[in-house]
Amino acid sequence: MPLSVAVAGASGYAGGELLRILTAHPDLEVRTVTAFSNAGQPLVSVQPHLRSLSHLTLVETTAENLRGHDVVFLALPHGKSGAITAELPDDVLVVDCGADHRLTDEADWATFYGGEFFGAWTYGLPELLHGGTGGRQRDELVGAKRIAVPGCNVTAITLGLAPGVAAGVVESTDIVSVLAVGPSGAGKALKTHLLASEMLGSASAYGVGGTHRHVPEVQQNLRLAGATEVRLSFTPVLVPMARGILATTTATLAPGVSAHDVRAAWERAYAAEPFVHLLPEGEFPRTADTIGANTCLIGLAVDEAAERVVVVSALDNLVKGTAGAAVQAANLALGLAETTGLSVDGVAP
């Protein structure tokens, strides 16, 4: 019998993507969907593409409505999940797609988010390398009951660069990452700068100068991968594509390291990974090739003149960047095959 699932924040983009993935999951059954302002409406009135879930009605997002399920997925704005999850039983698997439980450092939370600090949960990036031990984050997810899903930009940068940090082939004190990002990552709420008339034919940077909230999370991950100090200049750029992230990350080449050494580090890291794929030498990914798939595609080069490694990583911010990552981590926590209900095939054109 499938495990029962509740999805909080089901009227948003991340919640909708969770539901789309879960409809094809053989071991999980969505029984409750919740929302705030959209509570009381049929789910299909706000997620009209989810025809197979037309029997569901959105109910209010409360701990009472979320109790009684085997698995609870939260797709809520930051600051909204901490208080609710504190009221859920310890034996329920809770997977938070928001930021409330990602950071381990309370000072980082205060600086970049503010408000009450709810503490860190088991981090939901299975492929993240643990420097020095040779392990990966997936080992920590087995049997977990509280999981924090990474930020989408964080996933693109971390998966792109962590192999080089873990292998010691790049310097972690001079990292520059520029990301082309689709607006669905900003959520479904109406915002003037995200209107089509404002975005089409334009690109604009935001979170400039080290102010983006994902900065400390990337630093946290790269330290786990083996870095003692991380200096990161991270600039996201909003571009007119509905979904997707293309991250171009560069770092100084470590002394005495060859281009062969660099490629070998990434090949070792991802050779057996089902959802992270290193492309052949000279090939670089497009966001279009990841849409709808739980994949991160990576292209790799060494700029000999600049003595820098260049990593280009692409993913769908709503799948591998959020909802797919949540289901992948939940599979591990529940003892299911990690790939259950998840696809490596994108949608084209």
Positions annotated as catalytic residues are: 152
Q: Would you say 167 and 253 are in contact if contact means Cβ atoms under 8 Å apart?
A: no
Residue 340, token pair as written in the block: 């259950």
d(CA 267, CA 233): 26
Using N-to-C axis directions, what is the helix angle for 13-22 and 324-334, rounded to 10°? 50
Query: Which residue has 């591998």 as its token pair?
Result: 320
Q: Would you say 220 and 230 are in contact if contact means Cβ atoms under 8 Å apart?
A: no
Q: Would you say 161 and 311 are in contact if contact means Cβ atoms under 8 Å apart?
A: yes
Instruction: Please name which of 49, 58, 60, 62 lies closest in space to residue 31, comparing C-alpha atoms.
Output: 58
Three-class secondary structure of residue 196 per DSSP: helix
